[in-house]
Structure 1
Amino acid sequence: MATVSFHLKRPDAVIPTAIVALVTFDRQRVKVYSGLSILPKQWVKDEQRAKLKGYPQNGAVNDALDLLEERLLTYYDQQRALGLLPTPEALRGLAEPEAPTAPVAARKSFADHYSEWVKLTLAKGKVGTARAGNTTLRHLKDFEQATGYAVDFDTITPVFADAYTSYLLGPANLTDNTIAKHIDRLRRFMRFATERGYTTARGWEKMKWKRQEPDIMTLTTEEVEALEGLELPAGSYLDNARALFLLSCYTGLRYSDLVSIRPEHVRGNTLRITTQKTRETVSIPLQARALLIVTRYLAGGVRLISNQKLNNYLKELGQLAQIDSPIEIIKYRGGNRSSQTMAKWEKLGCHTGRRTFVTLSLEKGLRPELIMKITGHRTWRAFQRYVNITEQTVEREFAKAYEMPELLKVAR
């Protein structure tokens, strides 16, 4: 395992001094010049980062150090996976050659800063979030080209929000919930830019768009059993996809966490993992079926595939398992409701597994706060979006509570 620490070349200097990275691995230590310099009085030794209070331009320095650390550790992991040790020359080649000589905000455009924010998100391992960020940037560029509205820090105001959301509703043909996500993402970037000192504009704080909570689709216990019972050729692409999906149903893991499981995460019958999206460390008890898949996964018996391929294969699996009960898909555009009825398997996707875990765990009697501890949900509001108590469950629990055997028979 490798570690990276940052130090000043001359901590007692009265002029800017070089920031040096020390990469320690396998009883070796390699000194890597980061290409960055800073006044020692602006350096926080215990945090190994530049001081931000009173020096907003140092946010760019810390971001560069975060990226360098990520590059160094990623390269080390790649080399070890090949059975090699990284050479000092290769590690040094990963550093930027020179420190910026002027504040980043003075040289970069709005789009440049936005791309920097996405890159930092990716460096933290949040691949899905970074991909969504790029989608928002694409919509902003398309909006600029279509309307001639110059998107910049100072032009992101409520007037901009009116024009932008009209574009997203019209030419882009997005739903209210998707628009709300794009607006929220843009607000988060603007908050990031404000904290870094890139802008002092505040008009963005008034941007908003109403989110319409969608119906949650989950599988029932019987539908999960139907997937489990499918006879599939061992090791086939559908068998592989089923294993990944069922593991999500048994553990509540997101796709990004499913593909990140390592041997060190398994401790007996517990999976302890830091989630990619929120960086929450969760401990998940592994029931026998889950432990079986995890063991097979770590032995190389389950192959990693892309989220998109997994979603496509799940629709095949759902059709084979006859998960075809009709569901109503409701969408809102500008507050206007539209609906469409389709077979359940047509909407089956990887995230259905996480929602299924939450709903079935509640149906089995687990307390909500316990499930939230397992899934890493921080708020009840966020957790509620994963809950889908079915009509059958309502009838069954009602019949038990009020001793109505005739209703209990129907509910089963």
Structure 2
Amino acid sequence: MKGTINFTIREIKGNRGSIQLVHRFGRKKEVRYSTGLIIDSIDYWNKNKQRVKLLNAQKDASKINLFLDKVSVQAQERLSDLAFQKLNYTKEDVVNEFDIIFEKKTQTKATPNLIQCYEWYIEHFSKNPNPSTQKPLSDGTYRSFKRSFKIFKNFSKEYGKIDYNDITMELYEDFVEYLQDLNYSNNYISNHIKNLKTILNYSFSRGYHNNITHKRREFAKTNENVHSIFLDTEELKAIEDVHLPPGEDRSRDLFLIGAYTGLRVSDFNRLRPENLKLIDNRYYIEIESKKTKKVLLIPCSPTTERIIKKYGGTPPPSKPEQNINRDLKKIGKKAGIDEIVSISKTIGGKTKTEIFKKYDLISTHTARRSFCTNAYISGMPTLDIMTISGHQTERVFYNYIKASSLDKAKKIAEHPFFNK
């Protein structure tokens, strides 16, 4: 929604007050609209809270305030939708929306089509809480939806204008084939399908259509288990011990903090002195996760504490992520992490296998995966690891970690059930 919504009081005969709804949306653009509510004295009005303040003096004061709360929510929703439908709306448009809220007119607003809804969803929930998560879209999710929208919009132009009722299994198959022809991997295709389903579910919940094709099991993501690497504790120690020039040294230290805390790069690359808490002679890192918005309190390992002391009691200064990733491959090579790794991906509908030296696959994301896998192998309770990593289900967590079948079997073997 652009502009502001406020409630003000206008003095009328007998020192009474008429409550007005005011919307300002630009230079000399203002609409004042009578709510029809009158209070016995303008002295009963709280200008800051924009509500009735003397609840005992004013009859039905609580009901009046509840009604204003309801109107405020409705006005924000309707004006947000109006701005989506008509960027440069007029005073007459605002009055029309207010007439609908106060039931002086019936709603005649047109339903947005699929492309319009897709675009509106991205822009609206980049700034406002999403109904399912109660938070705005994270920066990464916002960029993901923007990419998906651009691709789907291009597909719609080639396929012929696509709306809700055009969503069929045949269209789904054509869309997947279209993405394969662009040489996208299965996992990348899966992300676009997931985002499209999100939009279709949201538009269905708003009553824009009654097509449920997207709820069928066959209308599915096309995930494949990509062989993402992790570094075991010996490899992390080799990285810690290798001698490096200053620039690579800082990249190494940032990476190791991620590998021993489980923080995402968006978090370990923005640590500040105020994120360090000294509790009972031990350092902890306290930070609000940029992605999940949850506050994390993570104990520092000896390696993390050594790094903090190395920088005079503060975390290492941040670096551009692409520079860290560039350095990590050089660091891995110097540390002798040169195991041969083969990776298979489905690209353009065909499976391709490539051979790499392990150091070529090290990135900032390897740090978090290494933490989760090493913590699991060490015997740390899964739910404790998930508290730090942010994984919502054990199924997703077990798919994320890179422990081998033997590692998992050894951990299970430690359970009392197998030792009676």
DSSP-derived class of the 1:150 partner: coil
DSSP-derived class of the 2:352 partner: strand
Aligned to 1:155: 166
Query: How does the TM-score come out when normalised to structure 1?
Result: 0.68
Identity, % of aligned positions: 25
CA separation in 2, counterparts of 1:201 and 1:399? 49
> 2:121 aligned with 1:114, yes or no?
no
Aligned to 2:142: 130
Distance 1:115 1:262, change over 3 A: farther
CA separation in 2, counterparts of 1:230 and 1:14? 72
CA separation in 2, counterparts of 1:50 and 1:215? 47
- Residues 157-176 of structure 1: matches in 2 within 5 Å? 157-170=168-181, 172-176=182-186
Aligned to 2:57: none
CA separation in 2, counterparts of 1:311 and 1:349? 5
**Candidates 33, 44, 60, aligned match of 2:69:** 44
- Residues 204-353 of structure 1: matches in 2 within 5 Å? 204-206=214-216, 207-234=219-246, 236=247, 238-268=248-278, 269-293=283-307, 302-332=316-346, 337-353=351-367
Query: Partner amino acid for 2:77?
Result: N
Distance 1:60 1:354, change over 3 A: farther
Aligned to 2:156: 144
Distance 1:63 1:105, change over 3 A: closer
Query: Partner amino acid for 1:118?
Result: I
Q: Is the 8 A contact 2:273 2:315 kept in 1?
A: no
CA separation in 2, counterparts of 1:356 and 1:377? 15
CA separation in 2, counterparts of 1:289 and 1:59? 54
Query: Partner amino acid for 1:204?
Result: H
Query: Partner amino acid for 1:157?
Result: T
Query: Partner amino acid for 2:262?
Result: G
User: After the TM superposition, which of the residue ranges 369-378 and 389-398 deviates more from structure 2?
Assistant: 389-398
Q: CA deviation at 1:327?
A: 1.2
Aligned to 1:92: none
Q: CA deviation at 1:112?
A: 4.7
Larger Rg: 2
Query: Partner amino acid for 2:190?
Result: A
CA separation in 1, counterparts of 2:93 and 2:340? 59
Distance 1:163 1:335, change over 3 A: closer
Q: CA deviation at 1:310?
A: 2.7
Query: Partner amino acid for 1:243?
Result: D
Query: Partner amino acid for 1:224?
Result: L
Deviations 1:291-334 (A, max 9, x none): 44457779777333333333232222222222110112121358
Query: How does the TM-score come out when normalised to structure 2?
Result: 0.67
**Candidates 190, 195, 203, aligned match of 1:180:** 190
Q: CA deviation at 1:215?
A: 2.9
Q: CA deviation at 1:174?
A: 1.5
> 2:7 aligned with 1:9, yes or no?
yes
Distance 1:174 1:297, change over 3 A: farther
Distance 1:203 1:250, change over 3 A: same
Q: Is the 8 A contact 1:216 1:387 kept in 2?
A: no
**Candidates 190, 205, 209, aligned match of 2:200:** 190
Q: Alpha carbon RMSD of aligned pairs, Å? A: 4.3
> 2:393 aligned with 1:370, yes or no?
no
CA separation in 2, counterparts of 1:248 and 1:203? 42
CA separation in 1, counterparts of 2:109 and 2:307? 49
Q: Is the 8 A contact 1:311 1:348 kept in 2?
A: yes
Query: Partner amino acid for 1:184?
Result: K
User: After the TM superposition, which of the residue ranges 318-327 and 208-217 deviates more from structure 2?
Assistant: 208-217
